[in-house]
């Protein structure tokens, strides 16, 4: 009882501080701050928001974000490798190691795009399952050949189907590319593709053990609403995990990273995908996203507990994690 009162008081204090910040920042947003690549993070008034460094009406942002990912879908995976020199694969692998999902777990990967997180999840639980079966076989004493063959045949039937991964994304083109990739990799068991908005998920309450969103939440218009939805669809005890570009902590690295992002990424976008503007938006949207601490508070305000974050590559990316009680 005392603990929940303390939590309530903490949340009220944090919200009132947030309101003060919003009011102060609202003045500068209206006076047109955030014109350059510096990492300013302005708030805007009730009906407008940011699309990269531009201020746009709220209802326009989702349409413009849709167009960006519709345009880049076919080249999305190649561009990810090119822009990050393949490092995005390590960030995603590390997410899976931190998650350490067990067979039977149900994952919802929101803004899942071309399926990278879901594929890794299914592969991870499959290898966990095999390891557990091998351990069980080793601990069996002098099994008959019949017992051994029975065990191996049930292993195949259970497979990773026990675990399920749902890839949910607002963009049909991204899902289409993901589905083609799954087909060519021969991944289908336990995997589904659902068109849906992070702010209004098409799932019942308390359905999933793990909710992930990788490089997706900064594109959402109302981040607080997406966090509420994450909380709603998770089972009690379920885990929220978000990978997102964040604030580089080392000033020298920050300068190099700014130069690389603004001078190289749109050029790569133009050369590889024939699309400068979409990649300019991607770079700008990163600078507009809250820093590690601020995002941590947003996740706590949504009602998650034990919220923590880990910086990858000096804060280029952060992994935030929290639990639903």
Ligand X SMILES: C[S@@+](CC[C@H](N)C(=O)[O-])C[C@H]1O[C@@H](n2cnc3c(N)ncnc32)[C@H](O)[C@@H]1O
Binding annotation for S-adenosyl-L-methionine: 114, 169, 197-198
Nearer CB in complex with ligand X: 129/198? 198
Residue 17 CB-density burial (10 A; 0-12 exposed, 13-18 middle, 19+ buried):
exposed
Nearer CB in complex with ligand X: 125/243? 243
- The residues in 160-189 that bind ligand X, with binding defined as CB under 6 A, are 169-171, 174
Helix, strand and coil content of the chain, in percent to the nearest 5, comes to 60, 20, 25
Candidate ranges 26-34, 154-162, 209-217, 305-313; the one touching ligand X (CB under 6 A): 209-217
- The residues in 61-100 that bind ligand X, with binding defined as CB under 6 A, are 65, 69
Candidate ranges 14-22, 112-120, 229-237, 288-296; the one touching ligand X (CB under 6 A): 112-120
Using CB under 6 A, count the residues that bind ligand X: 21
- The residues in 120-159 that bind ligand X, with binding defined as CB under 6 A, are none
Residue 205 CB-density burial (10 A; 0-12 exposed, 13-18 middle, 19+ buried):
exposed
The answer to the question of residue 269 lying near ligand X (CB under 6 A) is: no
Nearer CB in complex with ligand X: 81/293? 81
Residues 6+ apart with CB under 8 A from 3: none
DSSP sequence for 57-69: EHHHHHHHHHHHH
- The residues in 210-239 that bind ligand X, with binding defined as CB under 6 A, are 214-216, 219-220
Q: Which two tokens stand for residue 264?
A: 């190289």
- Give pairs for 264-271: CB < 8 Å, separation 24+: 265/83, 268/79, 268/82, 268/83, 269/72, 269/79
Candidate ranges 33-41, 46-54, 110-118, 186-194; the one touching ligand X (CB under 6 A): 110-118
Chain residues that interact with ligand X, rule: CB under 6 A: 65, 69, 110-114, 116-117, 169-171, 174, 197-199, 214-216, 219-220
């Amino acid at each position: 009882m005392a603990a929940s009162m303390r939590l309530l008081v903490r949340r009220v204090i944090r919200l009132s501080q947030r309101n003060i910040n919003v009011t102060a920042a609202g003045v500068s947003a209206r006076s047109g701050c955030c014109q350059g690549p510096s990492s300013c993070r302005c708030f805007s008034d009730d009906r407008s928001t940011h699309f990269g460094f531009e201020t746009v009406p709220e209802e326009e942002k989702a349409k413009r974000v849709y167009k960006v990912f519709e345009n880049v879908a076919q080249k999305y995976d190649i561009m990810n490798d090119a822009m990050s020199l393949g490092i995005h694969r390590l960030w995603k692998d590390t997410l899976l190691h931190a998650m350490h999902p067990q067979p039977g777990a149900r994952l919802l990967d929101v803004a899942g795009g071309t399926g990278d997180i879901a594929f890794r999840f299914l592969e991870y639980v499959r290898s966990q399952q095999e390891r557990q079966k091998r351990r069980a076989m080793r601990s069996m004493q002098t099994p008959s050949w019949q017992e051994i063959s029975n065990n191996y045949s049930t292993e195949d039937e259970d497979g990773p189907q026990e675990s399920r991964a749902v890839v949910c994304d607002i963009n049909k083109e991204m899902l289409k590319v993901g589905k083609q990739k799954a087909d060519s990799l021969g991944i289908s068991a336990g995997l589904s593709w659902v068109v849906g908005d992070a702010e209004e998920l098409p799932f019942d309450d308390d359905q999933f053990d793990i909710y992930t969103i990788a490089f997706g939440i900064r594109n959402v218009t109302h981040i607080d609403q997406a966090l509420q939805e994450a909380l709603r669809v998770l089972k009690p005890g379920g885990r929220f995990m978000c990978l997102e570009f964040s604030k580089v902590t080392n000033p020298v690295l920050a300068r190099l990273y700014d130069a690389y992002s603004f001078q190289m990424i749109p050029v790569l976008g133009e050369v590889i995908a024939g699309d400068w503007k979409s990649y300019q938006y991607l770079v700008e949207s990163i600078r507009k996203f809250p820093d590690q601490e601020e995002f941590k508070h947003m996740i706590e305000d949504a009602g998650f507990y034990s919220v923590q974050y880990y910086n990858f590559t000096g804060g280029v990316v952060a992994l935030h994690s929290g639990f639903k009680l």
